[in-house]
Amino acid sequence: MSKKTIFPKDFLWGGAIAANQSEGFWNQGGRGASIADTAPYNQNQNYSTYEAFDELTIAEIEDRLNDKDGYYPKRWGNHFYERYEEDIALLAEMGFKTLRLSVSWSRIYPKGDETEPNKEGLEFYRNIFKTLKKNKIKPIVTLSHYETPVHLAIKYGGWINRELLVFFERYCETVIYEFKDYVEYWMAFNEINVIQHSFYVGGAVPKDFIKNKENDLYQVIHHLFLASAIAKKVMKKISPTAKMGGMLARREGYPATCNPLDVLQSVIDDQKNLFFTDVLARGYYPSYMNAFFKENNIHINYEDTDDELLRNNTIDYVSFSYYMTVLSKYEIDENTELTTGNLVSGVKNNYLQSNEWGWQIDPVGLRITLEKLYDRYQLPLLVAENGIGLKESLNENNSIEDIQRVDYLRSHIREMRAAVNNGVDLIGYTVWGPIDIISMSTSEMSKRYGFIYVDADDYGVGSFNRYKKKSFYWYKQVIESNGSNL
C-alpha cells in the first residue's frame, strides 16, 4: 500500500442527522405528526426487542398520538429546530464540508395528501439552507428518513397503497423546486431496506392493512422503488445537474466457517441486502429475486409503465450506513451465539469487539463493503452514516474525553483511505449524529454519537446547551488535513 494516500480534494467530510431525531417542536410551525412521533421511550426496554420496530394497529397509533402511552423523545429531538444556527456554526468551526439532513415531509405537507404546502415549513428549511450556504457547507438531503406523515398511514395504509406515489411526487416537486439552488445531492429514502424489519417504520403500514405478510412486503418494496424513481425523475426535470442517491443499511457479513454451505449462505444473505441497491442502481429486478418470487408464489401488482420508470431513473450514487458486520451460517441452532444491531442481526463473530448495544465493531468490514459495492455498481459511493453510540457525561471541564469514539472513527477512516487508494470512487463521509441526537432504535438521548454533547437526558430534562467533546478537535484536524492527519 502506498504510504501517501490522499482523499479527493473536494471530498465531502461531514456528518448526518435526521429531522425526526433532531428538530423537535413536532407540532409547531404548522407541522403534522409523522410516524416517528409515535416511537416511545421505554426505560425497561430489552435491547434486543426495540419498540421502535413494533408493528402497530391503527388504534394503537391513535393511542400513541393521544399520549396514552408515555414519553416520546423524537418529538423533542435535540432542539435543532430552534438552535440550528448555533449548531451549524459549530459544525462550520470543525470545517464541515457537508451536512446530511432530512426534510420532514409532515412539515411541508402536514397530512401528506394536501395540495398546498405549509409555507412555514418551507421557510424553516430555506433558512437552514441559507445558513449552510453562508458557512460553505453543502447539504445532502434525504427526502424521507422514517418520516411519512402519520395521516397517510392511518387513512391509506402507508406504502402498501399506490396512491402514496402521487403524494410523494407532489412533495418531491415542491421541495426540489424550492431548494434547487441550494442542494446538489439528494436521496429518496433513508435505509430503504428497513422495511424488511418493520412494516411500520419502513413503510408506514399499520397492521390492519397487512393481509399476506410476504406478498405485501414485496408490494410495499415495489412502491418504494417506484417512489425513488419518481424522485429521480422529478429532480432531472427541475434540477438536472443535481444527483440522486440510493441509501441502504449495509449488512456486510462473512461466512461463519469455510464450510461451502456457510459460504453459500453468506452469498444468499448478501443478495437479500443488495437486492435494494441492485434495483435502484440497475433499474430492474435481479434474476435471483425473480426466481425467489416464482418459488414463493409472490405476485407484485405492476403497471405497464413501471419497468420503464425504473429503467429510466436509476440512482447517480450509492450511499449506505455502516456500523457493524455479522456472520452467516447455514444451520443455526440453540448453541449458535447471535448478535444484535439496530437493523442488522446475525451470528456473532468472536474476532470482533462489540459496543454496549452488542453492535460488532469492524473497520475492515467497511473496506470490504466499499470494494464490493464499487465493483458491483461502478458508481460513486457515499458513506452516509458511521459512528459509535456511547453513554457519556460531562467532566469537570464541561467536556468529554471520548477516546473510544476517536479510535472507532480513526480506524474506519483508515480503511476508507485504503479503499480510495485502491481505486474506489468515494465522494464523502458523513458521521452519524455529529451533535448528540435521539437514537433511532431505542429513542434514548443517552446513546450518544456526537462530537458535540447536548445537555439533555432521556426524558428531555436539561438545558440542551452544547459542549465540545475531545473528538470535536480531532475531527476538525482530520478535515483540515483532508484525512491525512488521523
CB nearer to ligand BGP: pick between 177 and 459: 459
Smallest gap, in angstroms, from Cβ of residue 21 to ligand BGP?
Answer: 6
Instruction: Give the per-residue contact string, 174-213, with ligand BGP (x = CB under 6 A; - = no).
Output: ----------------xx----------------------
- 254 and 349 Cβ atoms separated by less than 8 Å: yes
8 Å CB contact between 107 and 30: yes
As given in the structure block, the three cell numbers for residue 50 are: 426495540
What is the DSSP track for 11-74? -EEEEE--HHHHT--TTSTTPPPBGGGG--B-TT--TTS-GGG----HHHHHHHHTTTTSB-GG
Our measurement of the distance from residue 176's CA atom to the centroid of its chain's CA atoms, rounded to an integer in Å, reads 20
Restricting to residues 435-454, name those near ligand BGP by CB under 6 A: 439-442, 447
469 binds ligand BGP (CB under 6 A): no
How open is the CA angle 361-367-368, to the nearest 5 degrees?
Answer: 95
CB of 482 to ligand BGP, least distance (A): 26
Annotate 80-117 with b (16+ C-beta within 10 A) or e (fewer): bbebbeebbebbbebbbbbbbbbbbbbbbbbbbbbeeb
Q: Please tell me which residue in 385, 392, 415, 444 is annotated as part of the active site.
A: 385
- Provide, rounded to whole angstroms, the least separation between the CB of residue 125 and ligand BGP: 19
Task: Please say whether the beta carbons of 106 and 31 come within 8 A.
Answer: yes
191 as an active site residue: the answer is yes
Query: Is 250 a residue that touches ligand BGP (CB under 6 A)?
Result: no
Whether 303 sits among the annotated catalytic residues: the reply is: no
**Rounded distance between C-alpha atoms, residue 44 and residue 47, angstroms:** 9
Residue 342 interacts with ligand BGP (CB under 6 A): yes or no: yes
Q: Which is nearer to ligand BGP, 145 or 468 (CB)?
A: 145
Quick check: 325 binds ligand BGP (CB under 6 A)?
A: no
Annotated catalytic residue within 60, 191, 252, 415: 191
Grid coordinates in use for 464?
440542551
Q: Could you tell me the smallest distance in angstroms from the CB atom of residue 50 to ligand BGP?
A: 8
- Cβ-in-10-Å burial (0-12, 13-18, 19+) of 486 comes to middle
Site map (CB under 6 A) of ligand BGP, residues 386-415, x = contact: ---x--------------------------
Report, in Å, the least distance between residue 385 CB and ligand BGP: 6
Give me the phi and psi of 483, to 5 degrees please.
Answer: 85, 5
Q: Which CB, 211 or 391, lies closer to ligand BGP?
A: 391
Closest separation in Å from C-beta 340 to ligand BGP? 11
Cα–Cα distance, 453 to 433 (Å, whole number): 10
Given 319, 321, 430, 471, the residue binding ligand BGP (CB under 6 A):
321
Positions in the binding site for ligand BGP (CB under 6 A): 18, 21, 190-191, 249, 321, 342-343, 385, 389, 432, 439-442, 447
Residues belonging to the active site:
191, 385
